Amino acid sequence: MKFYFFTLSALFFLTTSCVEKTESFTRETIVLKKDWRFSKGSHPDAIHKSFDDSQWEKVNIPHDWAIYGPFNKEIDKQEVAIAQNNETTATEKTGRTGALPYIGEAWYRNEFTLPNLNKNKKILIQFDGAMSEPEVFINGEKVGEWKYGYAYFYFDITEYVHKENNTISVKINNREKSSRWYPGAGLYRNVHLIVKEKESIAHWGTFITTPLITKEEAKINIKTKVNGEQIKLVTKIYDADGIEIARQEATQMFSNEFDQNISVSDPNLWSPDSPYLYTAKIQLYANNELKDETTSRFGIRSIDFSAENGFRLNGKKTKFKGVCLHHDLGPLGAAVNKSALRRQLRILKDLGVNAIRSSHNMPSIEQLELCNEMGFLFLAESFDEWKVPKVKNGYNLYFDDYAEKDIVNLVHATRNHPSIVMWSSGNEVPDQWGNEGVKRAKWLQDIFHREDPTRPVTVGMDQVEAVMQNGFGAIMDIPGLNYRVHLYEDAYKKFPQGFILGSETASTVSSRGIYKFPVEKASMKQYEDFQSSSYDMEYCSWSNLPDEDFILQDDKDWVLGEFVWTGFDYLGEPTPYDEAWPSRSSYFGISDLAGLPKDRYYLYRSRWNTKDETLHILPHWNWEGREGETTPVFVYTSYDQAELFVNGKSQGIRKKTKNGTPQERYRLMWMDVKYEPGTLKVVALDEAGNPVAEKVVKTAGKPHQLALRPETMSLKANGEDLMFVEVSVVDKNGIPCPTAQHQLNFEVTGKGSFRAVCNGNPTSLELFHLPSMKLFNGKLVVLIQSSEEVGAITLKVTGENLLSQSVTINSIQE
């Protein structure tokens, strides 16, 4: 069986400024960011314009009300047996949804004017996501409602608005037992007003593909749905430098759609290594008068999946080196922020990641835009639940009425992004059992195919034996296996597609900077401090260590690649401590909740980042009281062999080998090292045994002073940009103190403000938005937010018995 999929990508015309407006000759897009009023609780009269909301909290959108806490084990405490964890007996789960107060009803209100409104105008309001069950009122009239908190949706509000004094009211309702992780709460993504002519391009009405690509030429097909008569369409293509390279006029419509084919000579192809983006400007004329204009960035690339070649991008066989990401941004909660997303992607680029799976929800527009620009393949997921429930008040309540509408909106809103190469219609749905589930799987896949015939569809399947027997796995375009590495061979033989995707892999658990002894492979291991060991030898009852997936990726051509669970820790799902308080966030991340890399980061980097050297030693070398005791040393490196020294004494040479355990194939391990304070050094060797690189870890003295490391030295003065400053403690010689746990305080002055802080500790109950937090194993990260004024911003950090430190950065004009 062979699939060929070709696509180009466009970015829908949206603003990214703070309040405000993007104007063409005929179209205006207003992002309603500022001056919202917010109140938690029931306010049925809030739909009316005359309602007094002057005492409500003033907030900006995007906004997540729950991230401000407090943490409380009683919030959404669930008595449940988690089927995905192979549990058969219900037990109390306290931190499953993050123990943050997302449950309940709340209201948002704002005012807006439309000075250019006239009888020929059409007004739409678009929500990129509202958690959850939003009901929307304009000037006291209900204009619509939606259910799914992750869905994009819009309403035509033309008949409800006036030129001035318009009031929008949005009711939000989050039910208990509605999620398996922290979902966030409120208007956590952007809200847009679109003002255009009635004769206009339909909302999400443009679909750009490339049915033919050669070295000399790319055929760009642009389908554009429009409203109007006696009209023509003019499309202009610009290269990355803004130079017009092609144009075409069209007057022939098929029903309400133009279908254009435009040639681009010597095309620059989009890929993770070279994410080249073109721009299409599409203009609609009626009686030679310009009526509408949209501008879309897009990338030219081809994709195909086949048993012979696996996955090919632009004709080149490519394996997915992917991670799964939840939608929360750690200390920011669910509130989308483009600079925070950009930081995540920079970290993943250094790791060598080339692909992302949105888990288990529809991605933000901002995330997709950045993946287009920075070069990431994307698996866009839709649902975690179909008709059969995982949680009492989950998507099962809406499936019959909303599944098709939600898929249509997902596809129409995002199908033009070059990063998206696959759709997923679900994750570990209980519907994998039984004939009805097979029918649902095909029904959903057919909707995706109808709306976008250029991309395949997958499902993350964890009930592998069931889907091999009942036909569920056989009907999927891409059979995606979640874990179950021991069943890959059987599934490959059983399924007709000729390939398998590791749609979710590993679920290895660790806590940054925590090391447990003795070092041994263990499943669901628990300790008194509710942490997991960063020797990366602990995993979950349903999962495995990374090395077992590496073997499948390296040895089986028919394995398309993997999406590791997860790239970053996230709020909720604190396995293996689901029943332990105060565990309230995950241990799965390759990086922690603050974005700081765990040791496992370098294990993946040693395989995935093929451009840069990796040479990393663990554990740290501060073990007072363990003198003379066995303290194993691991090295994660892109080199095949290395020699280890303790205080100048060789501990021998280790070499990666296929003849030993999976760990011996990918890690260098010295299991019998005896701890003595001083210097730990590893020297990497080439094939001839010559030294080519070295890394040193030293025992630190007493904590002496703070060290601040901002990512850059400037912020954009837009009121949204964030600076992430890593704070650590060093001794008097500048050696990092890996066990420091000091309480620190933060003060920001100048043209910015303190936004949040995070130390990556999954058991910490300190609130992210307060300017004080304890170090976790010597580190934490402070977030500074710009204002709309240009000038200096200074962060000062203090801690008891430590020399304080300050850093000054500049807020500059965008």
Per the DSSP assignment, residues forming a β-bridge with 443 are none
Please state, in angstroms and rounded to a whole number, the distance separating the CA atoms of residues 96 and 713. 38
d(CA 326, CA 304): 27
Cβ atoms within 10 Å of 624's Cβ, excluding its own: 9
Claim to verify: residue 775 and residue 730 sit in the same structural domain: yes
**468: nearest Cα among 488, 440, 445:** 488
CATH number, residue 253: 2.60.40.10
Catalytic-labelled residue, pool 133, 199, 381, 504: 504
Give the pLDDT confidence of 149-202 residue by residue, as tens digits: 999 999 999 999 999 999 999 999 999 999 999 999 999 999 999 999 999 999
pLDDT of residue 11 exceeding 50: no
For tokens 């999620």, name the residue: 179
Do 193 and 207 have their domain in common? no
Kindly state the percentage of the chain with pLDDT values over 90: 94
* Residue 504 designated active-site: yes
Q: Are residues 425 and 329 in the same domain?
A: yes
Arithmetic mean of pLDDT over the chain: 95
Rounded Cα–Cα distance for residues 731 and 700 (Å): 6
State the pLDDT at residue 229: 84
- Tell me, what's the pLDDT at 21? 46
The answer on 331 and 354 residing in a single domain is: yes
Mean pLDDT for 27-37 is: 95
Provide the b/e sequence for 404-436 (b: ≥16 CB within 10 Å). ebbbebbbbbbbbbbbbbbbbbbbbbbbbbeee
In the block, tokens 């391990």 appear at 669
Domain boundary among 162, 182, 197: 197
Closest CA to 43 of 57, 58, 53, 32: 53
Over residues 302-307, mean pLDDT: 97
Q: What is the mean pLDDT of residues 14-29?
A: 53
Examine the domain organization and report whether 678 and 792 are in the same domain: no
Tokens representing 712? Answer: 């850059």
Domain boundary among 167, 197, 227: 197
pLDDT digits (tens, 9 = 90+) for 454-511: 999 999 999 999 999 999 999 999 999 999 999 999 999 999 999 999 999 999 999 9
The stretch 44-62 carries a mean pLDDT of 97
What residue type is 184 in one-letter code?
G
- Residue 549 DSSP code: H
**Model confidence pLDDT, tens digit, residues 585-628:** 999 999 999 999 999 999 999 999 999 999 999 999 999 999 99
Domain identity same for 546 and 598: yes
pLDDT at position 25: 57
Q: Is 796 domain-assigned?
A: yes
**How many domains is the chain partitioned into structurally?**
5
**Residues 334 and 454 occupy one common structural domain:** yes
pTM for this structure?
A: 0.96
Domain boundary among 698, 731, 746: 698
Q: How far apart are CA 374 and CA 484, in angstroms?
A: 32
Average pLDDT of the residues in 715-719: 96
Question: What per-residue confidence (pLDDT) applies to 3?
Answer: 46
Cross-strand pairs, 31 = 192
DSSP letters spanning 202-241: EEEEEEEEEEEE-SSEEEEEEEEEEE-SSEEEEEEEE-TT
* pLDDT per residue as tens digits for the range 84-118: 777 788 888 899 999 999 999 999 999 999 998 99
What pLDDT was estimated at residue 243? 97
Q: Are 555 and 448 within one domain?
A: yes
- Active-site pick, 199, 366, 428, 643: 428
List, for residues 729-750, the tens digit of each pLDDT value.
Answer: 999 999 999 999 999 999 999 9
Clarify whether residues 166 and 216 are in a common domain. Answer: no
Residue 230's pLDDT is 84
What is the C-alpha to C-alpha distance for residues 707 and 697, in angstroms, rounded to an integer? 18
Domain that holds residue 281: 2-11+200-302
**Residues 44, 47, 51, 52: is their CA dihedral positive or negative?**
positive
Report the CATH number at residue 409: 3.20.20.80
221-277 per-position pLDDT tens digit = 999 999 988 899 999 999 999 999 999 999 999 999 999 999 999 999 999 999 999
According to DSSP, residue 199 is labeled S
3-state secondary structure of 626: coil
